Structure 1
Amino acid sequence: MKYFFVFKKLIPFFFLAVLFSCASKKDMIYYQDVDNLGTQEKSNSYEIKIQPDDLLMILVSAEDPEIAMPFNLAMANVASAARPDAVGQQSSLLYLVDAQGYIQFPILGKLKVSGLTRSDFLSKLQDQIGNYIKSPIVNLRIMNFKVSVQGEVTAPGTFAIVSERVTLVEALTLAKDLTVYGKRNNILVIREIDGVKSYNRVDITKVGFMNSPFYYLAQNDVVYVEPNQNKINGSAIGPSTSIIFSITSILVALATLIITTSK
């Protein structure tokens, strides 16, 4: 009988171990209220805005290439970073948006570009270049579009974005998703616009975040995933917790064996 009382005293430790390792469904599942939503209206197309320190590649073309040439930066021989001794490759020079949001454009001079979307700036360039060239074709691309993902994700890092836009979901996917310890209802998005930082919270367990201004990320956004309470508790208890649980499991098994053999 005394072994039975020993076993009873060990049972709470066993349930504590199970409870500590479990996570609530509401803390883990994404888009939990998606079935409560009806058909959504088509959302407006999203475009990022040009910011200071952006690198822009702008190419102007026309039916006669020689006419468009003065509106393009000169090509330069650039040696490969991996093989600096190799023969350089032809590479177009990039426009750096200065701290005041301007670039120096051939023929047209100083242009304000910060705060404009790609479409806005393209329209502006086509109108002004159109004073010199009939039906000019202008191609524009932001070359240093990147976002950073930190915290409780599988593969944190800074990711270069080759398309013109990226969603928060896509950025988290690039980081190979949240760990089981990631806090899904309080993700922080840090954004800087014209030198002013904003700190914004997003709950991806509710599908409504897709209508948030932070569903689409801007260049240089930082996404931080906080650790949940389980991770914080585990860090506070220390690495010896797993050892304690292992010893408890052994003691439970030993008590069970003693009780069984003593009958």
Structure 2
Amino acid sequence: MQDKVRDKTFDSYSTNNYKVRPFDNLSIKLNSFEQSTTGEFNSSGALGSRPGGVDNALLYLSGYMVNQAGNIRLPLIGDIKVVDLTVDEIKDLIDLKLEEYLKFPSVSVKLTNFRVSVLGEVNRPGMQYIYEGKVTLLQALSQAGDLTDFGNRKNIKLIRETKEKTISTYIDITKPDLISSEYYFLMPNDVLYIEPLKAKASNVNTRVVGVALSVISVVITTVNLIVTINNK
């Protein structure tokens, strides 16, 4: 009798659960009927872009930096404490503060410094900027061009900095229960390192030995040729 496959649904982690920290950068855009105030408010917090994509430097410079005390300074409102709040909580807080000055204000808040690094045995290693608000481990690997032939899919190292400590763990992406892992959805500043398989070391060693043998063979042939010429 064929076993029944049971579908499972897991609560997804998203960056909406990420607590803002000092030196994070936020894009905050105000929508309101009072256009003059909206323009002033958005002048320093609007998204920066250029033809062909987002300009990460402009995006960073035009955002609101969370200072060491955990505050950002906004037009009309002034300093507001945002550290240890999610982007949704920050949005609600700013909406509430703006009601003292504007009619029907509505703001959107995004974390602009959400980036992850993918290193090691992938085809396109490097840093990835995330604009969709969340990214899974598999999506990050896909963006990096997937693992090389020598990438170890059963031993991917993830390094994550939390408020209290730095976590280092290993993940097997071949396991079906990967999507239920707390590490399936990545967090800002996560680092993935894909270790090489032992087969790569063996392959490298084999090539080194092959090159060495070729060099020795050439040397021996040359020596034999010289000896033969001298004996004539």
Q: Which residue of 2 aligns with 1:172?
A: 141
Q: Secondary structure at the match of 1:148?
A: strand
Q: Is the 8 A contact 1:73 1:92 kept in 2?
A: no
Cα displacement (A) at 1:142: 2.1
Q: Which residue of 1 aligns with 2:114?
A: 145
Question: Structure 1 residue 39 and structure 2 residue 14: aligned?
Answer: no
Which amino acid in structure 2 is aligned with residue 239 of structure 1? R
CA shift in 2, pair 1:98/1:216, >3 Å: same
Q: Is the 8 A contact 1:150 1:224 kept in 2?
A: yes
Q: CA RMSD in A?
A: 3.2
Q: Which residue of 2 aligns with 1:30?
A: none
User: 1:58 & 1:75 partners in 2: Cα distance?
Assistant: 5
- % same residue: 32
Which amino acid in structure 1 is aligned with residue 36 of structure 2? E
Which amino acid in structure 2 is aligned with residue 55 of structure 1? N
CA shift in 2, pair 1:100/1:211, >3 Å: farther
Mean Cα displacement is larger for which, 131-140 or 188-197? 188-197
CA shift in 2, pair 1:226/1:71, >3 Å: same
Q: Please, what TM-score do these two structures have when normalized by structure 1?
A: 0.65
Pairing partner for 1:59 from 29, 38, 42: 29
Pairing partner for 2:180 from 177, 197, 211: 211
User: 1:214 & 1:152 partners in 2: Cα distance?
Assistant: 20
Cα displacement (A) at 1:163: 1.3
Q: Which residue of 2 aligns with 1:96?
A: 65
CA shift in 2, pair 1:245/1:36, >3 Å: farther
User: 2:213 & 2:148 partners in 1: Cα distance?
Assistant: 22
Mapping of residues 24-35 of structure 1, within 5 Å: none
Unaligned runs of 5+ in 1: 1-34, 81-88, 247-263
Q: Which residue of 1 aligns with 2:165?
A: 196
Mapping of residues 111-122 of structure 1, within 5 Å: 111-122=80-91
Unaligned runs of 5+ in 2: 51-57, 215-232
Question: Structure 1 residue 125 and structure 2 residue 65: aligned?
Answer: no
Q: Is the 8 A contact 1:51 1:193 kept in 2?
A: no
Q: How many residues are matched?
A: 200
Mapping of residues 73-112 of structure 1, within 5 Å: 73-74=43-44, 93-112=62-81
Q: Is the 8 A contact 1:54 1:142 kept in 2?
A: yes
Report Cα offsets for 1:103-127 as digits up to 9, x if no partner. 2222323222233222121111112
Q: Secondary structure at the match of 1:215?
A: coil
Q: Is the 8 A contact 1:59 1:138 kept in 2?
A: yes
Q: Is the 8 A contact 1:148 1:221 kept in 2?
A: yes
Q: Secondary structure at the match of 1:239?
A: helix
Pairing partner for 1:240 from 208, 217, 220: 208
Q: Please, what TM-score do these two structures have when normalized by structure 2?
A: 0.73
Q: Is the 8 A contact 2:25 2:64 kept in 1?
A: yes
Cα displacement (A) at 1:212: 1.3
Structure number with larger C-alpha Rg: 1
Cα displacement (A) at 1:141: 2.1
Instruction: Extract structure 1 runs of 4+ deviating beyond 6 A.
Output: none
Q: Which residue of 1 aligns with 2:123?
A: 154
Which amino acid in structure 1 is aligned with residue 195 of structure 2? E
CA shift in 2, pair 1:37/1:110, >3 Å: farther
User: 1:228 & 1:150 partners in 2: Cα distance?
Assistant: 15
Question: Structure 1 residue 187 and structure 2 residue 156: aligned?
Answer: yes
